[in-house]
Structure 1
Amino acid sequence: MLMIINTLSAQRDTEHWIAPYYNSSAIDYTNTIFLSTDSTTPFGVEIYSNNTLLTTVTISKGNPQQYTLATNRIYTEDESDAFTVINKGVYLKATQPFFCNLRLANDVHAEIITCKGKAGIGKEFYIASSPNTNVAGNRPVYNFTAGILATEDNTSVTVSWNTAGLIFFGGTPTGNSHTFTLNKGQSFIFAGGGGNAFSGNIPNLTGFIGAKVTANKPVSLTNGSVSGNFGAGGSGLLGSSSDAILDQSVPLERLGNSFAMVKTRSTDPSLNMEGGLIVATENNTQIFLNGSATPVQTLNAGQWYRINESSYIAQPGAAGHSNMYISTSKNVYLYQFVGVGDSNATCGFNYIPPLNCFLPKKIDEIGNVDVMPGSGTTPNLKLNILTEAGATVTVNGTAPTPAQGPYPLAGSTQWVTYSLNNVTGNLTINSSRALTSGINGGYSSAGYGGYFAGFSSIPIIEKSGDCVPGAVLEVEAGFDSYQWMLNGVDIPGAISHTYTPTQAGNYTVRIQNGSCAAVVTPIFKVFSCLKLTTQNINVCSSQVITPTFTSSTQTPVPGTVTIVTPPTNGTAVVNPNGTITYTPTTGNGTDQIVYRFCGNAPEFIDCEQVTLNITIAPLTVNNTTLSTCPTSTSPPSATFNLTLAQPNISNAAGATFTYYVNQADATAGNASTIATPTAYTSGNATIYVRVKVGSCFKVAELQLNLTQSVVSTITASSTTICYGGNVTLTSGQATGNTWSTGATTPSITVTTPGTYTLTNSSGNCPSSPASITITAESDPNIQITGNLVFCQGSSTTLTATSAGTGNTYSWSNGTTGSTISVSAPGTYTVTVETPAGCQYQESVTVTQGAVPTVQNASLSECTNSTTATFDLTSAQPAISTTAGATFAYYVNQADAIAGNASTIATPTAYTSGNATIYVRVKVGTCFKVAELQLNVTQSAVSTITASSTTICYGGNVTLTSGQATGNTWSTGATTPSITVTTPGTYTLTNSTGNCTSSPASITITAESDPDVQI
């Protein structure tokens, strides 16, 4: 037989519940829980049944695990287990979110119940089962089954139905409803069979579809048929077999009205193995297929409609992809029918999550999709993906091929579908937009698949930790924005997908994602933890203890006060007003009471448990003294903090101190107390202190004493700080000094002006402060001006100036006044004394300048004219060799002596005839004038006479100078004449006298051989 199970619709969560089912097939199933997660850090999943821990399974990403349940934990074949409270069903929990599904299989049937986490528990459901075909041969194995599992104690459940004539296994209800009560972990199964082949229970075939479940606390529902058949074909007593058709339901608040389905693997349309089942939850619910404006059916609450296989739309291409878009006017349940091949025995169904923007963007990871316990066969599976149009999709990191999708949905431009064949192992599906995904397929005698996410159109809050402090709230990550709220008010800064609450209350999250409108999660209630505190008291007799919160603002309720641990060395009684009277036994020792109480809040009640450590001991007190310095002298008084004496009076635990002026009042303990003991103004006096522990008291005397203080004095070496100097301030006391600078020495040296204060504590009290103001002079800026160099036989005048008025001047040579004349070299120091007595000095050094040594000199130049250009500076070495001398050139001797500005402007190129120049030679401030004689000498004129200007062939020419001596020819000859035999230009210069003439030139030519022939 070829058989298929329904599509897996798993939800990632930290808690999961699986309600039991009823098996009418007479063939046992192996029931295995499959667990997987996206967490790379391993963690344990605890598996419970009837509140008993069965095992803990450790999982991590890439390491999915499975656990096989004992048959009696999850299903029954015994009618006595139906229509009664039983202890079947499974609860799983972990610290990290995980995927969970239950795979049930035998040789001929298989199915998967997919865990939907907290999205799968609620208070209101409508039941779905297989709309079984009336085939006589199948009726004995047909049934409907609805298992309900409680998540809390004292859960009241009512199930009602409209179909008359239903027959239930294990019981007969008196009407069309039944109410029962479950505690946490208990369950209840409604189940009814199809009768026998000859007289079937015809209402049972479809009559329980649409039954309503109402509970006062959250429950989990597993519904369907084990077995059933919704296909066409088959007749007679033998029929066409059946299969397990089963899935976990979701409560009404998780439903939607927009859906997509991808056709599974049935290949014979005549069998009508594809399509789906819609169950309405409200009256006048219209159903629309593939975008049609005309409803195919209108349903009232609890009614159902079968969508036929023919409603799928085949998409173009060779991939054989068919899909369908379903929309309704109101929220409904939609279960997709699943089939494989050409057999009508391969039935299955699964709950289809509604389409919405709050589907996740990642499914990571679904483990071992191709494993069915005990099959021993590799199945052929297909992965179906539903996501928003325009999304980027990958499966295990690889994008689908164009043949695999995306394919459009008729009636919706927002969503598209994909199909991938032959998937195996662990699957991680990612999309850049909202996503859900499922698998379907099978093998020769079985098949399976599943949808992996999207069972809550509004995200739900999850919690780790039990109470505040310590609880962490979390919703699904990956949406566009988050805003946490407490009691409906935004929490500033709480904008991530997790939040750690700091107080009890109603928490919600406003979430925005994609094109969907923002939604607010259902209220999640967070309660305060029991606060544990420890207190200590001393008693010497009976003590009344008043329970009081240490941090809560609530008022303790007297009726909530209880003794958790009674005392061992006394008695403790809770009084009607909520106080506790403790009476110790005789003698000293210790005791302990643990008591608990709660506040008066209407819902989020704070409770506190106090461990009270009791010391039983007689009360002892000591007289003591407080001494302080007077703050007033008329009359002498001071302000005392009387409470500072408490440690010296008594160290009894839990003691209270009350202060009195009169001893009788202290003994009586009346209201005539000192009102402000921390600031009590008094002179020398006796104060009476009433010390009380519990009902015990004693009176101690507290003496108040005033202590006299010393007088501080300051002596200054000067009240003015000379510029760059300091002043020494000296206390009149050798010890106990505190200066305003922080110094504690008897004297301090200060370098900055200001007011300096001194207090002294060499006595019992600090003195009144003494102060002195110190001034400071600024820089006097002494300047000495005048010529610091004088020539031999002369003198110079020095003048001193300084800042300020009233200053006096004295010089190192004994002269007073601001000006002196000096005629001897040396260092001269002026001392300036200010009116405040500060003295400052400045010195200069006066030197006697050197007189240069000079001699007259001359310069000569040759020229063809009466003037020549002279470089006057070339005569400097001849005029003076005195080191450091400078030279200035004048035409007039008087100007040279005066050293004025009438100098020769360009002495290196001075044009003149024969003349006398006056040269001022200066070293420092000393100078002499020398004469420089300028002489102009006429140059000779060179002439050449030639015997001929042409050299005959084989002959020569004679060239003759006009001067007899001083000749220099270009040939190098120095004779008056030369004989040349080669043509060319010949040059002559003459240096007769001190000057050389300008050159004279002549050009000689030569004839070639005339080649005379005879």
Structure 2
Amino acid sequence: MTGFFYILHQKKYFMAKRFATLLLFLFSLFCFSQMDSEHWFAPMASNTPANGKGSQLIYLSTNSIIPVNIKIYGGNKLLGTITIKKGDPQFFYDWDKSQIIVENNDEKMKVLNKGVHLVGDGNFYANLRFSIPEEAEMVTSKGRSALGKTFFLGMQKGKVRYSNNIASILATEDNTTVTLSNYEPSLVFTNDKTPNTAQKTILLNKGESYIYEVDNINANNASFDGLIGAKVQSDKPISVTCGNFLAGLNQGRDYYNDIFMDQTIPVEKIGTEYILMSGYGSIADASVMEKTLIVASEDNTEVFLNDNKTGTPDFILPKAGSFQFVKSLNYKPSDPVNNVYSLYVKTSKPAYVYQILAGSPISDISSGAMSIIPPLSCLLPSKIDEIASINENLTMDSNGNYVDNDVKLNIITQKGANVFLNDSKANINGPFPISGNNDWEAYTSYHVTGTITVSTDNKKAVTFGIAAGNGSIGYGGYFAGFNVEPYITGVGDCDDFKYLEVQDNYDEYEWYYSPDQINWTKLAETSNRLDPLGVYGYYKCKVIKQACSTFLFSDVFLYKSCTVVGPPQSYTLSFCESLSPPITPKFSKKIGAPIDIIKTKITKDPEEGKAYIDNLGNIHFEAENSTLEKVTFTYYFEGYGSFPDSEEVTVTINLTQIKVENKEIFSCVDSSGLATYNLKDFETTSTDPTITKFEYFTDKNLSNEIPSSELNNYKSSPNTIIYVKVSNAAGCYRIGELSLKTYTPPVISIQINGRSATINATGGLPPYQYAIENSKEFIDFQDNNVFNNLPIGLNTVYVLSSDKCTKASQDFMITQLLNVITPNADGYNDILDYSEMKYKNNFSIQIFNRYGLEVYKSNGQKYTWDGKLNGKSLPTDTYWYIIQWEEPKTQQTFQFTNYLLLKNSN
């Protein structure tokens, strides 16, 4: 379509839309700067677990009378949805606390699926207000203006024991490399796997987050300035939140802590001129809480304060990342009676300015907050519309009761602005002059509550921030000024594209179209929104702000057809096969449309295996012995032309795996130390029906195959591994292991009770059988492990495993020695009788009286003694005796000594 006919078409279209567009335009002309259709909040690291107490809410509002539908994601998972419109702000809280506040140290310096990403079908405002008991803060989202690749960090310089420094990252694209540098290498990071390094680099995918924490509970960290001035660098856009989850002041023996946190901005969004208005701290009393942090983004940055026009800077920041705090005594009085002070900062090169302020007049030292300050610009909006529930931050005191907050509003405008708060000039104090800058002035308002709108009715630029809190906590933030340069966004998605849009901070808009970025045509639309009506090409918008003396062009926006998500494709292969034939890309909706094969590419690689494109544009996949049962990859292709159709397809490859189970088999060892095994027993447990072949090898390199004739009776020493190549019909194979084993002999333990023995066994292969051998008899193998009436002397027990090939033996002694005889012919204990020892060799008895004199010695095969010496009874007394013999089986000699009580009646 030529530019001429396109303009005619546009005019007809916009006549039909004019009333609705005009109505919408009137309600959205002056939105505040952080209005955007997307917002990001990185998670934060707490070093003070609050046991689930506190609150974490995202306040959402819009100036659109048309409802804005918002999806809230955490780590690419949908957490919930919410709908807002002008006059009906909402807050989102239906999430787990750990999604935004990380207390577990194991999750710090670790890739997480935490943080929050909000996506709306229209523009909206988002700020995170969070608390733990007696501590709170607010993080204002800057929308897309917060995204960038280079950042320098700011935070409170708190070295009290329970303070920390954090830098948290949230990625917006896959394969994002992030590096933290420009910090003292000796700092101790929480959960750091690479300590004492000058930089730390991580890789994140879209929706993933990462938190760096320096906790001052570590005494080593107190020697340094934490992460102030540290640099965060990435190769793709990221969102960065920085500050202290706890920091504060050390006043003698007392510690005063609060949270100091904000979402920072990339270096391309900072400037060289700033105005800061004091918070609730008492400047006249030299507030120690109120101060300003200036961080250089370039070397040799000169800093001028207030009305310094001498050409000699107040100080110089020598290196990028160098910083200096400006104390409250440098603030200039605007209305000291009402505690209104200002600080004007001008730098020779772009610099970051962070404000540390007190959030409550009740307690200067315990109600801190931190805000990043927007640079001055005549492109600031003229209206900041619909900031929800400005005095709400659900904070509790130490008793668990919610506490009301007091809000001070600091308004900064171009000189001569006619300022309104909620369309009223009541409760507005000012204007106050700014020392050092005659082009800007300030206003204040105290005890502000509810949903507010700040505006000027004469096109002058305006921004505002708050200092808020109570006696225990403080919070603050600025609500405009970070995305003053125009940029185009597409609202809607492929299935429901709505329009192109430029921020509505400006007074006039001119839209241009080009098919080639060379020839541009001015279009009829004059609002901040344009419906391209499906005409693909390049668009840009010229914006004019009456308060500025010039105009600006947005970046060029390429509007083209969305990439179609093609029907998914699925194939089944064995784990070593290649896809055959390869995939030939085809459009699913434009049948037969030609494809520019040069543009075809793999957009997501499989986790295992290899996907690639040949010179004809066909898609190949090689499984490469993948161990997975399923892999996916994605390919992209497009047609010809300046704005071609394109499609992306996800391919699923189901991989048939061979299921191999390793096995042990056992056999008895013969006298040569070898055992005979049936190797084909391996196949009894490998029941996978896809297996077609088993081959057996003695080495894992599969170079020495065992002949099939030997498989059923394979001779081997035990403790050998056989390698089994298990194949399927496709020729794919896995290697299993067959371990050749023999049973270990049982381990024997014996319990003797008099003439009985109980045999216990472990190891080998139960159940067991038991046998006893001694000089009297052999008791054959039996299941019972108890043997009674065993003879005195050496016995041998044998234990046989149920494998019948591993037998263990152990000798034991029955030593039931007699120690009393009463020779009175009553038939009981009349003699010392060892007649049962007649099976022993060389048996003898020797008896001695208490003086050591021998009174008896057996001669020959004599096994008894009747208590007499030379036929005469010996007196009643205690005697000692020795018995000795030789075991016939072993020819081993044994000797035992025992006492004997002789009781004679005569």
TM-score range, shorter chain: 0.5 to 0.7
> 8 Å contact 1:254–1:458 — kept in the other structure?
no
Task: Within 5 Å, give how 1:322-471 maps onto structure 2.
Answer: 322-339=341-358, 340-341=360-361, 342-375=363-396, 376-400=402-426, 404-431=429-456, 432=458, 433-466=460-493, 470=497
Q: 1:489, CA displacement in angstroms? A: 5.5
Q: 1:436, CA displacement in angstroms? A: 0.6
Summarize deviations over 1:735-789 as a string: whole Å, max 9, x none. Answer: xxxxxxxxxxxxxxxxxxxxxxxxxxxxxxxxxxxxxxxxxxxxxxxxxxxxxxx
Q: Pick one of 499, 506, 530 that aligns with 2:530.
A: 499
Determine the structure 2 residue equivalent to 1:285: 301
Q: How has the CA–CA distance of structure 1 residues 277 and 317 changed in structure 2, closer, same or farther, with 3 Å as cutoff?
A: closer
Summarize deviations over 1:162-191 as a string: whole Å, max 9, x none. Answer: 423111001134621121111111101011
Task: Within 5 Å, give how 1:256-275 maps onto structure 2.
Answer: 256-267=271-282, 269-275=285-291
Q: Aligned equivalents of 1:255 and 1:562: distance in 2?
A: 38
TM norm structure 2: 0.57
- By relative contact order (CA 8 Å, sep 6+), the higher-ranking structure is 2
Q: Aligned equivalents of 2:503 and 2:150: distance in 1?
A: 24
> 8 Å contact 1:394–1:429 — kept in the other structure?
yes
Q: 1:406, CA displacement in angstroms? A: 1.0
Determine the structure 2 residue equivalent to 1:475: 502
Matched position secondary structure for 2:234: strand
Q: 1:145, CA displacement in angstroms? A: 0.5
> 8 Å contact 1:100–1:114 — kept in the other structure?
yes
The answer to whether residue 128 in structure 2 is matched with residue 102 in structure 1 is yes
User: Number of residues paired by the alignment?
Assistant: 554
Summarize deviations over 1:572-607 as a string: whole Å, max 9, x none. Answer: xx9975799xxxxxxxxxxxxxx9951357x96532
The answer to whether residue 310 in structure 2 is matched with residue 296 in structure 1 is no
Q: Aligned equivalents of 2:585 and 2:326: distance in 1?
A: 70
> 8 Å contact 1:354–1:457 — kept in the other structure?
no
Task: Within 5 Å, give how 1:801-880 maps onto structure 2.
Answer: none
Matched position secondary structure for 2:145: helix
Structure 2 regions of 5+ residues with no counterpart?
1-31, 397-401, 568-583, 603-612, 620-634, 650-906
Q: 1:272, CA displacement in angstroms? A: 2.1
What letter is aligned with 2:120? A
Summarize deviations over 1:265-292 as a string: whole Å, max 9, x none. Answer: 1126334221211111111211111131
Identity %: 34
Determine the structure 2 residue equivalent to 1:131: 157
> 8 Å contact 1:152–1:183 — kept in the other structure?
yes
Q: 1:437, CA displacement in angstroms? A: 1.0
TM norm structure 1: 0.51
Q: 1:225, CA displacement in angstroms? A: 0.6
Task: Within 5 Å, give how 1:61-72 maps onto structure 2.
Answer: 61-68=86-93, 69-72=95-98
Determine the structure 2 residue equivalent to 1:144: 165
Q: Pick one of 307, 318, 330 that aligns with 2:326.
A: 307
Q: 1:319, CA displacement in angstroms? A: 3.2
> 8 Å contact 2:406–2:469 — kept in the other structure?
yes
> 8 Å contact 1:503–1:528 — kept in the other structure?
no
> 8 Å contact 1:157–1:180 — kept in the other structure?
yes
Summarize deviations over 1:529-554 as a string: whole Å, max 9, x none. Answer: 247999xxxxxxxxxx9979999999
> 8 Å contact 1:467–1:527 — kept in the other structure?
no
Summarize deviations over 1:612-636 as a string: whole Å, max 9, x none. Answer: xxxxxxxxxxxxxxxxxxxxxxxxx
Summarize deviations over 1:362-404 as a string: whole Å, max 9, x none. Answer: 1110111111225433322111111111111111110256x70
Q: Pick one of 10, 21, 26 that aligns with 2:44.
A: 21
Summarize deviations over 1:673-695 as a string: whole Å, max 9, x none. Answer: xxxxxxxxxxxxxxxxxxxxxxx
Q: Aligned equivalents of 1:286 and 1:604: distance in 2?
A: 48
What letter is aligned with 1:442? G
Q: Pick one of 228, 231, 234 that aligns with 2:251.
A: 234
Determine the structure 1 residue equivalent to 2:791: none
> 8 Å contact 2:484–2:505 — kept in the other structure?
no
Q: 1:448, CA displacement in angstroms? A: 2.6
Q: Pick one of 12, 35, 43 that aligns with 2:35.
A: 12
Matched position secondary structure for 1:188: strand
What letter is aligned with 2:313? P
Q: 1:64, CA displacement in angstroms? A: 1.8
> 8 Å contact 1:507–1:526 — kept in the other structure?
yes
Summarize deviations over 1:37-68 as a string: whole Å, max 9, x none. Answer: 11233333211111111111222222221222
The answer to whether residue 130 in structure 2 is matched with residue 111 in structure 1 is no
Q: 1:239, CA displacement in angstroms? A: 3.8
Structure 1 regions of 5+ residues with no counterpart?
1-8, 535-544, 564-573, 581-594, 611-1014
Q: 1:10, CA displacement in angstroms? A: 7.9
Q: 1:434, CA displacement in angstroms? A: 0.9
Q: Aligned equivalents of 2:441 and 2:186: distance in 1?
A: 44
Q: Aligned equivalents of 1:26 and 1:579: distance in 2?
A: 55
Matched position secondary structure for 1:327: strand
Q: Aligned equivalents of 1:32 and 1:352: distance in 2?
A: 23
Q: How has the CA–CA distance of structure 1 residues 343 and 57 changed in structure 2, closer, same or farther, with 3 Å as cutoff?
A: same
Q: 1:488, CA displacement in angstroms? A: 6.7
> 8 Å contact 1:124–1:214 — kept in the other structure?
yes
Determine the structure 2 residue equivalent to 1:520: 553
Matched position secondary structure for 2:493: coil
Q: How has the CA–CA distance of structure 1 residues 327 and 553 changed in structure 2, closer, same or farther, with 3 Å as cutoff?
A: farther
What letter is aligned with 1:182? L
Q: Aligned equivalents of 2:35 and 2:540: distance in 1?
A: 20
Q: Aligned equivalents of 1:161 and 1:405: distance in 2?
A: 42
Determine the structure 2 residue equivalent to 1:153: 174
The answer to whether residue 68 in structure 2 is matched with residue 52 in structure 1 is no
Q: Pick one of 336, 339, 345 that aligns with 1:320.
A: 339
Q: Pick one of 606, 617, 638 that aligns with 1:598.
A: 638
The answer to whether residue 603 in structure 2 is matched with residue 557 in structure 1 is no
Matched position secondary structure for 2:106: helix
What letter is aligned with 1:292? N
What letter is aligned with 2:543? I
> 8 Å contact 1:74–1:90 — kept in the other structure?
yes
Summarize deviations over 1:93-112 as a string: whole Å, max 9, x none. Answer: 11121111111112211111
Q: How has the CA–CA distance of structure 1 residues 264 and 576 changed in structure 2, closer, same or farther, with 3 Å as cutoff?
A: closer
Q: Pick one of 511, 519, 540 that aligns with 2:543.
A: 511
Q: Aligned equivalents of 2:614 and 2:115: distance in 1?
A: 47
Summarize deviations over 1:104-155 as a string: whole Å, max 9, x none. Answer: 11221111111111111111111222222x4xxx22x111011100111111
Q: Aligned equivalents of 1:148 and 1:208: distance in 2?
A: 14
Q: Aligned equivalents of 2:647 and 2:468: distance in 1?
A: 57
Summarize deviations over 1:988-1009 as a string: whole Å, max 9, x none. Answer: xxxxxxxxxxxxxxxxxxxxxx
Determine the structure 2 residue equivalent to 1:191: 213
Q: Aligned equivalents of 1:411 and 1:307: distance in 2?
A: 16
What letter is aligned with 2:314? V
Q: How has the CA–CA distance of structure 1 residues 434 and 468 changed in structure 2, closer, same or farther, with 3 Å as cutoff?
A: farther
Q: How has the CA–CA distance of structure 1 residues 245 and 598 changed in structure 2, closer, same or farther, with 3 Å as cutoff?
A: same
Matched position secondary structure for 1:322: strand
Q: Aligned equivalents of 2:585 and 2:69: distance in 1?
A: 45
Q: How has the CA–CA distance of structure 1 residues 131 and 484 changed in structure 2, closer, same or farther, with 3 Å as cutoff?
A: farther
Summarize deviations over 1:791-830 as a string: whole Å, max 9, x none. Answer: xxxxxxxxxxxxxxxxxxxxxxxxxxxxxxxxxxxxxxxx
Determine the structure 2 residue equivalent to 1:214: 233
